[in-house]
Amino acid sequence: MAPAFRLGCPRTSRGLIAKGLLRAEMARRNVTYAGLVEKLAAVGVEDNERNLRNKVSRGKFTARFFLQCLVALGRTSLRLD
């Protein structure tokens, strides 16, 4: 389980939390990076598998990208506690 989200936590910690949340959601839904590329394209976001892998593995992506991925995966809510 990812550590608790705190507003004052370092940027790298927030990136690790977001990365963990995204990977966990992909695993729950049994979606690969190639599958996520297709799902993102269906909601109007163009990217490729290599870029997605790099973004997620680094944990450095925008909140917008994170939310786009959650929407593409069919996630309608997110709890941070």
For 32-70, how does the pLDDT look when each residue is reduced to its tens digit (9 = 90+)? 999 999 999 999 999 999 999 999 999 889 999 999 999
**What gap in Å lies between CA 81 and CA 68, rounded to an integer?**
21
Q: What is the pTM of this model?
A: 0.80
In this structure, the number of other CB atoms found within 10 A of the CB of residue 8 comes to: 5
Query: Which of the two residues, 61 and 78, has the higher pLDDT score?
Result: 61
Which residue is listed with tokens 């608790």? Answer: 4
Average pLDDT of the chain, as a whole number: 86
Contacts of 26 (CB under 8 A, 6+ apart): 32, 33, 36, 73
